[in-house]
Structure 1
Amino acid sequence: MTRFWLVRHGPTHQKTFVGWRDVPADLSDQALIDRVDAYLPSDALVIASDLRRASATADAIGGTRQRLPDNAGLREFDFGVWDGMTFDQVAARDPDLSRRFWEQPGELTAPEGESWNGVAARVSRVVDQLCRDHADADIVLVAHIGVIMTQIQRASSSTAYQAMGHNIDNLSVTDITMASGRWQVGNINHIP
């Protein structure tokens, strides 16, 4: 049994799309960071997206856990030209596409960006490799809202649209387990 503890990075306070744009996380809430650290298994491995908001969060909650190298395969959606734009700006630029992107996630992409299916496949490859390399381990995976939602979809056999309906707060923990060849979802968006 391999159990993943999916932690969303600390807040960025951005009011725009943030995909591959590398912005820092606000890690000033030490009490919450300490609670997240205490909640996670002490012998877990820790891996993060290579974007600094996730990597720094992993460092902050990692404690004495073994840290695996950051992995670019765990990055947030690449929002292409939308990255750095507000929702209103995106809606004005691409009114039909911006609506359908959220209502019909799958193969649609932001201009010069990635689709839901592309991100889900990219992240699943990393998760599958972690299962092979670290079977029977607890793995803390610090990443982004889109990454976590793709794995909720996978583990729950839901649609992408249903998975997007979950609230995933900064520094929340979602756990999923691979046991006997089957995925199972535990707590979603747990705030310790």
Structure 2
Amino acid sequence: MSRFFWVRHGPTHAKSMVGWSDLPADLSDSALVGRVADHLPEGALVISSDLVRARDTATAVQGGRTRLDHDQGLREIHFGDWELQRFDEVADQGHIRQFWEQPGDIAPPNGESWNQLTARVNGVVDRLIAEHPGRDIVAVAHFGAILTQVQRALQVDAYTAFGHKIDNLSVTELHWDGARWHAAGINQLP
């Protein structure tokens, strides 16, 4: 069995859509960071998105675990022209409403759709399972990337997956038994 422990990076405090912008994480709550690190299995491999907020969070919770190279495939959804805008600042309100209310093939201008994000993250996860069979993997990533895997484990549509909260510095534990995914815990705050 392969177990994935998805950790959402520390907060950026941005009040806008942050996808590929490289904003730092606030990791000043050392007690919470320590509890997250203690919650993760010893001997796990640690990987993160290549964005600084995920990389720094992975370093903060790594402990003595083995670190894999960070992976661009674990980035947040690419918001394209909507990057760093608040929902109400987007000029085409009909388009942004469709993007959030009917997730799938709808993409922001010059950005990526939910289905593109899902295919990207699934590819990384499938590769990690093939390269490290039966290993525990701590993956430090982003809200959208984690929700793609919640959707996969629960076998629900994207809109239903969006109903799950994924807090900063929470742990979502998903298991692959070789035939199907299982959700052992979603949005756990140690």
Aligned structure 1 segments of 4 or more residues deviating by more than 4 angstroms: none
* Superimposed CA distance per residue, residues 12-59 of structure 1 (whole angstroms, 9 cap, x where no aligned partner): 000111000100000000000000000000110000000000000000
- Residue 156 of structure 2 is aligned to residue 158 of structure 1: yes
Deviation of 1:135 (Å): 0.7
User: Counterpart of 2:134?
Assistant: 136
Number of matched pairs: 190
Structure 2 gaps of 5+ residues are none
Please give the residue correspondences for 1:33-112 in structure 2 after superposition, counting only pairs within 5 Å: 33-90=33-90, 93-112=91-110
Which amino acid counterpart does residue 33 of structure 1 have in structure 2? V
User: Counterpart of 2:29?
Assistant: 29
Please give the root-mean-square deviation of Cα atoms over the aligned residues, in Å.
0.5
Deviation of 1:180 (Å): 2.8
User: Counterpart of 1:6?
Assistant: 6
Which amino acid counterpart does residue 169 of structure 2 have in structure 1? L
How high is the TM-score relative to the length of structure 1? 0.98
User: Counterpart of 2:19?
Assistant: 19
Q: Distance in 1 between matches of 2:189 and 2:133?
A: 26
Which amino acid counterpart does residue 16 of structure 2 have in structure 1? T
Q: Distance in 1 between matches of 2:78 and 2:99?
A: 13
Deviation of 1:94 (Å): 1.1
* Superimposed CA distance per residue, residues 47-93 of structure 1 (whole angstroms, 9 cap, x where no aligned partner): 00000000000000001100000000000000001001111102xx0
Q: Distance in 2 between matches of 1:6 and 1:23?
A: 20
Q: Distance in 2 between matches of 1:191 and 1:3?
A: 18
Deviation of 1:139 (Å): 0.2
Q: Distance in 2 between matches of 1:180 and 1:57?
A: 29
Which amino acid counterpart does residue 38 of structure 1 have in structure 2? D
Please give the residue correspondences for 1:107-126 in structure 2 after superposition, counting only pairs within 5 Å: 107-126=105-124
Q: Secondary structure at the match of 1:98?
A: helix
How high is the TM-score relative to the length of structure 2? 0.99
User: Counterpart of 1:179?
Assistant: 177
Q: Secondary structure at the match of 1:189?
A: strand
Q: Secondary structure at the match of 2:156?
A: coil
